[in-house]
């Protein structure tokens, strides 16, 4: 049989969905990328693979069916309603722990995408003006444009010395590695189930007296390790206080007010931060994995209060937990929480995520974030005490 008549096997394995702005990259970059992935026996899906005459909404279902999504950000990406809807669907699936999203910055800087600069940002603002009657849809677009670029991706600068072909070769290698890692994780979970291991499974929290209900997948932290902190021989929780968190504009009195409360058996003073007026909320904390017990499951919760006159919290905040492992790999999960439901209820715990502490020899770092970038809403009345890190069942 001649080489030209060789029939290649149909790619199998997890479906890889590619989202892109057609007029920017279909006839050049994507026309090389899709065949290169298929040549590597990767199961690729692009819009041209959909049945002729099918409803465009079917593409959103294809995203739900996929395990990896590649989103190619190009200069005109935000001029397409459909690209933005696909991006919002990717964030939704990613937050549920069902999708890995790999952002590709094709001749556009990551900061341009995240901060909506230049033509990329102008097109998005035009899109917002054209869809003023759909504020929730706009909000989902905006949150996806902030969240997805935070994932580890691959940029190809306008003036890069790397050709499209070389860049695509690098992409194929990265995607193959992601697929291999997925297979390893599956095997670990199966083995852990057989042996009664400690990988954290997806779960939903039970409703408790003063805690919100979890509605998202929690990450499986493969290699977390923290030394135990003991009091009378038992593990006690740790607290990252507000003063030790990175709070955007924390030093501007018109945005944040700092005060002290006295709590605990020793009536110790604790600094808390209260929002006066803000549009962009971002609070980030980090804890090294050397103060907790190996093999124990922990939760990270933001301890906050919303005053009786709190306002501007109609849209949910996003909580993110990221576990950076000793080898540089990371696990992460995002979830949304509606803070408006807690106005006037006193101190509440807002879950960022759950993780398992790994062996002592493989330390890691935990990063937890609360953010909301809804600049149409002036928010006030949120009081931040800190983030509690404590054992959980």
pLDDT (tens digit, 9 = 90+) per residue, 134-153? 999 999 999 999 889 888 88
- Strands 246-247 and 317-324 turn out to be unpaired
Question: What is the homologous superfamily of the domain 3-179 according to CATH?
Answer: Toll/interleukin-1 receptor homology (TIR) domain (3.40.50.10140)
* Residue 297 near residue 198, CB atoms below 8 Å: yes
Per-position b or e across 140-178, b if 16+ CB within 10 A of its CB: bbbbbbbbbbbbebebbeeeeeeebeebbeebbebbeeb
Strand arrangement, sheet containing 44-45? 44-45, 16-19, 68-73, 100-106, 154-156
248: exposed, middle or buried (Cβ count in 10 Å: 0-12, 13-18, 19+) = middle
Buried b (16+ CB within 10 A) or exposed e, 108-135: bbeebbbebeeebeebbeebbeeeeeee
* Dihedral in degrees, nearest 10, Cα atoms 120, 123, 124, 127: -160
Rounded Cα gap, residues 27 and 176, in angstroms: 24
Beta-bridge partners for 244: none
pLDDT value, residue 215: 29
Assign 35 to helix, strand or coil: helix
Q: Is the pLDDT of residue 348 over 90?
A: yes
pLDDT of residue 54: 44
Nearest CA-CA partner of 78 in 128, 135, 29, 137:
128
Q: 277, 378 in Cβ contact below 8 A? A: yes
**7/350 Cα distance (integer angstroms):** 54
pLDDT value, residue 187? 60
C-alpha span between 355 and 307 (Å, rounded): 30
The per-residue pLDDT of the chain, averaged, comes to 79
Q: Please determine, for residue 180, whether its predicted confidence score (pLDDT) is greater than 90.
A: no
Region 122-130: mean pLDDT is 94
Q: Residue 8: what pLDDT?
A: 45
Tell me the pairing of strands 317-324 and 281-288: unpaired
Task: Provide CATH code, domain 200-391.
Answer: 2.60.120.260
Q: Give the burial class of 76: count Cβ atoms within 10 A of its Cβ; 0-12 exposed, 13-18 middle, 19 or more buried.
A: middle
Q: From CA 382, how far away is CA 311, in angstroms rounded?
A: 9
Q: Which of 225, 368, 233, 240 lies closest to 296 in space, CA to CA?
A: 225
Q: What is the pLDDT of residues 194-210, one digit of tens each?
A: 444 333 433 333 333 33
Q: Give the residue-averaged pLDDT of 305-322.
A: 91
Dist. CA 386–CA 229, nearest whole Å: 19
Task: Write down the pTM of the prediction.
Answer: 0.50
Contact 109, 155 (CB under 8 A): yes
Q: Where are the alpha helices (DSSP H) in the chain?
A: 22-25, 29-39, 58-65, 81-95, 110-114, 118-130, 135-147, 164-195
| For residue 191, pLDDT beyond 60 | no
Fold matches, 3-179 and 200-391: no
| Cα(138)–Cα(128) distance, integer angstroms | 6
Q: Which residues are catalytic?
A: 86
Q: Would you list the domain boundaries of the chain?
A: 3-179, 200-391
| 96-118 per-position pLDDT tens digit | 888 899 999 999 998 899 889 99
Rounded mean pLDDT, 7-26: 76
Higher-pLDDT residue of 263, 234: 263
């Amino acid at each position: 049989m001649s080489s030209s008549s060789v029939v290649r096997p149909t790619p199998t394995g997890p479906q890889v969905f590619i989202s892109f702005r057609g007029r920017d990259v279909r006839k050049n970059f994507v026309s090389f990328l899709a065949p290169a992935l298929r040549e590597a026996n990767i199961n690729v899906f692009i819009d041209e693979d959909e049945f002729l005459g099918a409803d465009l909404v079917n593409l959103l279902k294809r995203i739900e069916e996929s395990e990896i999504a590649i989103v190619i950000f190009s200069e005109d990406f935000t001029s397409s309603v459909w690209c933005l809807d696909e991006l919002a669907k990717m964030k939704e699936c990613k937050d549920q722990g069902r999708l890995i999203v790999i952002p590709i910055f094709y001749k556009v800087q990551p900061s341009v995408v995240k901060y909506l600069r230049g033509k990329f940002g102008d097109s998005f603002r035009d899109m917002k003006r054209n869809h003023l009657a759909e504020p929730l849809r706009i909000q989902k677009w905006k949150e996806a444009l902030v969240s997805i670029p935070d994932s580890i991706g691959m940029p190809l600068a306008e003036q890069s010395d790397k050709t499209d072909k070389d860049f695509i070769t690098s992409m194929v290698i990265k995607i193959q590695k992601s697929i291999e890692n997925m297979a390893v994780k599956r095997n670990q979970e199966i083995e852990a189930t057989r042996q009664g291991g400690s990988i954290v499974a997806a779960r939903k929290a039970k409703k408790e007296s003063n805690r919100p209900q979890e509605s998202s997948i929690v990450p499986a932290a493969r290699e977390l390790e923290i030394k135990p902190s003991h009091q009378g021989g038992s593990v006690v929780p740790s607290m990252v206080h507000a003063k030790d968190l990175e709070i955007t504009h924390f030093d501007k009195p018109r945005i944040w007010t700092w005060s002290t409360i006295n709590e605990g058996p020793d009536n110790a003073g604790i600094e808390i931060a209260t929002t006066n007026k803000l549009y962009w909320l971002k609070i980030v904390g980090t804890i090294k994995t050397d103060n907790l017990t190996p093999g124990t499951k922990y939760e990270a919760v933001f301890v906050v209060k919303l005053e009786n006159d709190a306002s501007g919290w109609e849209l949910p905040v996003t909580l993110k937990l990221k576990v950076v492992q000793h080898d540089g790999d990371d696990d992460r999960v995002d979830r949304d929480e509606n803070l408006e439901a807690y106005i006037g209820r006193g101190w509440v715990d807002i879950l960022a995520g759950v993780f398992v502490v790994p062996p002592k020899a493989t330390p890691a770092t935990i990063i937890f974030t609360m953010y909301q970038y809804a600049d149409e809403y002036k928010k006030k009345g949120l009081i931040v005490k800190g983030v509690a890190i404590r054992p959980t069942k």
